[in-house]
Amino acid sequence: MDPRDKTAIVTGGASGIGRALVRALLAAQASTVVVVDRNAQMLQESLSRLETQLQAKVIVQQCDVGDQRLWRETLLALLRELGHIDIMCSNAGVARGGGLDASEQDWEESWRVNVLAHVTAASTLLPSMLEQGSGYFLSTASAAGLLTNLGAAPYSVTKHAVVGFAEWLAITYRSRGIRVSCLCPQGVRTPMLFPAGDIQDDSSQLALRSVTTFGDVREPDEVAELSIIAMREERFLVLPHLEVHDYIIRKSQDPERWIASMARYAEQLSQDLPGSA
């Protein structure tokens, strides 16, 4: 799928990877890009930053994609307004740290935003894509969905679920012209990985530290560019950190050894956290 002259939606488009995806789609000459985010102020700021790139039509749309009913209504309204959607980038995500102490609310929000928002986008847009005989879903998961994110159970589990959903979608609708890419980076330099202010709880510190110390931290623009290349090649797995490919092989070849080595790594990182004895 070449984004040129296509209509695309990007969720979580006001910041980080989503904002870079919007820029990359515009650079690839998409005709219309809808930027969806729940943060209205950041949406307006990103629109003014995009002003120089505005040969294409850019629509900003405030929506909490974790609210299934609202998200579905928003997508249906966009479909009515634009006639068709070619590319759906489900990118908005929340990173909730915590292990067994994670709250019910954190689990629920992680399911709604990290998983169900992708399901709602697919179930709402698929009928029209099937009718037009083509459509593209770019699903931002994470390397945590293939491996794990130490210290962050809701994040790791929901990212596994969304990799599973993307795989299912790709297999089920391939013969009917639908293509899917699943973006699985490790660390990317965004406010999610480098939040403003101090992180107090140990699990969240461990979750962030494990990502920033485990490999290179990539720039959002690089990650977005690789996603557009994958889209053009219609490749399923997008791995901005090539080492993740080796880790998946090692994990599947010897899961016992992989779990033991990750447990040792978690132990070592926990001991290094500020405040630990």
Ligand X SMILES: NC(=O)c1ccc[n+]([C@@H]2O[C@H](COP(=O)([O-])OP(=O)(O)OC[C@H]3O[C@@H](n4cnc5c(N)ncnc54)[C@H](O)[C@@H]3O)[C@@H](O)[C@H]2O)c1
Q: In the complex, what is the shortest distance from the CB of residue 186 to ligand X, in angstroms, rounded to a whole number?
A: 6
Helix (H, G, I), strand (E, B) or coil at 146: coil
Q: Is 142 in the site for ligand X (CB under 6 A)?
A: yes
Contacting residue, 27, 130, 193, 229, with ligand X by CB under 6 A: 193
Q: Is 225 in the site for ligand X (CB under 6 A)?
A: no
Q: Is 12 in the site for ligand X (CB under 6 A)?
A: yes
Q: Is 255 in the site for ligand X (CB under 6 A)?
A: no
Q: In the complex, what is the shortest distance from the CB of residue 20 to ligand X, in angstroms, rounded to a whole number?
A: 8
With respect to ligand X, which residue has the nearer C-beta, 66 or 154? 66
Cα distances (Å, whole numbers) of residue 153 to 103, 116, 160: 11, 17, 11
- Pick from 235, 120, 223: nearest CA to 170: 235
With respect to ligand X, which residue has the nearer C-beta, 26 or 63? 63
Helix (H, G, I), strand (E, B) or coil at 90: strand
Query: Which of these segments, 13-21, 173-181, 255-263, 265-273, binds ligand X (CB under 6 A)?
Result: 13-21
Q: How far apart are CA 241 and CA 227, in angstroms?
A: 12
Give the interface size with ligand X as a residue count (CB under 6 A): 30
- Pick from 64, 140, 152: nearest CA to 106: 152
Q: In the complex, what is the shortest distance from the CB of residue 180 to ligand X, in angstroms, rounded to a whole number?
A: 16
Is residue 231 within 8 A of residue 181, CB to CB? The reply is: yes
Q: In the complex, what is the shortest distance from the CB of residue 190 to ligand X, in angstroms, rounded to a whole number?
A: 3
Radius of gyration, alpha carbons of the chain: 19
Q: In the complex, what is the shortest distance from the CB of residue 191 to ligand X, in angstroms, rounded to a whole number?
A: 4
164-170 long-range contacts, CB within 8 A, separation 24+: 165/115, 165/118, 165/119, 165/122, 165/139, 166/118, 166/137, 166/139, 166/141, 166/236, 167/236, 169/122, 169/137, 170/236
Q: In the complex, what is the shortest distance from the CB of residue 207 to ligand X, in angstroms, rounded to a whole number?
A: 10
Strand-pairing partners, residue 61, are: 36
Q: How far apart are CA 167 and CA 89, in angstroms?
A: 15
Which residues are tagged catalytic? Answer: 155
Query: Which of these segments, 23-31, 126-134, 163-171, 189-197, binds ligand X (CB under 6 A)?
Result: 189-197
Per-residue string for binding with ligand X, 57-96, x by CB under 6 A? -------xxx------------------------xxxxx-
Per-residue string for binding with ligand X, 101-130, x by CB under 6 A? ------------x-----------------
Helix (H, G, I), strand (E, B) or coil at 75: helix
Q: How far apart are CA 2 and CA 135, in angstroms?
A: 11
Q: How far apart are CA 273 and CA 268, in angstroms?
A: 9
Q: Is 16 in the site for ligand X (CB under 6 A)?
A: yes
Q: Which of residues 25-64 bind ligand X (CB under 6 A)?
A: 37-39, 42, 64
Contacting residue, 15, 32, 120, 156, with ligand X by CB under 6 A: 15
Residues that bind ligand X (CB under 6 A): 11-12, 14-18, 37-39, 42, 64-66, 91-95, 113, 140, 142, 185, 187-188, 190-193, 211
